Amino acid sequence: MKKVSILFLSLIAIGSVFTSCNPNSDSPDISVTPYNTTIYYVPAKAGQVVTFTVVMTPDVVNGSELMTLKITDGTNETTMDLGGANVQITKTFDYTVSETINTETTITLTFEVIDTKQNAKDTKAYIEVTEGTTFPQLVSYNGTLNYISTSLNNTMMLICGSTGSMGDGNSSNADIAFVWQDGNGYSVCSPDAGWITECYSYNNVVYSTSGKNHTKIAPYSGDFYALTAQVLEGITISSESQLTGAGTGINNVSNGDLIAYITADGQKGVLKVVSNSKTSKYMQFETKFQTSNSAGK
Asked if residue 46 and residue 115 are part of one domain, the reply reads: yes
| C-beta of residue 215 within 8 angstroms of C-beta of residue 190 | yes
156, 164 Cβ separation under 8 angstroms: no
Q: Which domain holds residue 63?
A: 3-131
| Residue 119 located in a structural domain | yes
Residue count (the chain) = 297
Question: Is there a single domain that holds both residue 246 and residue 122?
Answer: no
Answer yes or no: do 103 and 142 share one domain. no
> Is position 296 within any domain?
no
Residue 19 · residue 25 · CB < 8 Å: yes
Domain for residue 295, yes or no? no
Residues 145, 286, single domain; the answer is yes
pLDDT digit string (tens) for the chain, length 297 residues:
445 444 444 433 333 333 333 334 455 656 555 443 445 678 888 889 988 888 888 888 888 899 999 999 999 999 999 999 998 888 888 999 988 787 888 999 999 999 999 999 888 888 999 887 777 888 999 999 999 889 999 899 999 998 999 999 999 999 999 998 887 888 999 999 999 999 999 999 999 999 999 999 999 999 999 998 888 888 999 999 999 889 999 999 989 999 999 999 999 999 999 988 766 788 899 999 998 876 433
Which of the listed residues 103, 131, 159 is the one where a domain comes to its end?
Answer: 131
User: Does one domain contain both 8 and 89?
Assistant: yes
- H/E stretch holding 243 reads none
Same domain, 104 and 163: no
Pair (263, 186) in one structural domain: yes
Exposure string over 247-285, b if 16+ CB within 10 A, otherwise e: bbbbbebeeebbbbbbbbeebbbbbbbeebeeeebbbbb
- 97 in any annotated domain: yes
Specify the amino acid at residue 103: T
Characterize the bridge pairing of strands 41-45 and 120-131: parallel
Give a yes or no: residue 225 inside a domain: yes
Cα–Cα distance measured from residue 198 to residue 243, given in angstroms and rounded to the nearest whole number: 12
Gap between the terminal Cα atoms of the chain: 15
Same domain? 78 vs 125:
yes
Nearest 5°: CA angle at 169, between 212 and 157? Answer: 85
Do both 93 and 194 map to the same domain? Answer: no
Domain assignment present for residue 245? The answer is yes
Domain boundary among 131, 166, 189: 131
Same domain, 125 and 246: no
CATH of the domain at 126: 2.60.40.10
Phi, psi of 156 (to 5 degrees): -115, 130
6 Rama sector, left if φ>0, alpha if ψ -120 to 50, beta otherwise: alpha
Listed residues 110, 131, 152: the one ending a domain: 131
Q: Is residue 13 part of a domain?
A: yes
Q: In this structure, are 95 and 182 located in the same domain? A: no
Say if CB 60 and CB 12 are below 8 A apart.
no
Structural domains counted in the chain: 2
41 and 123 co-located in one domain: yes
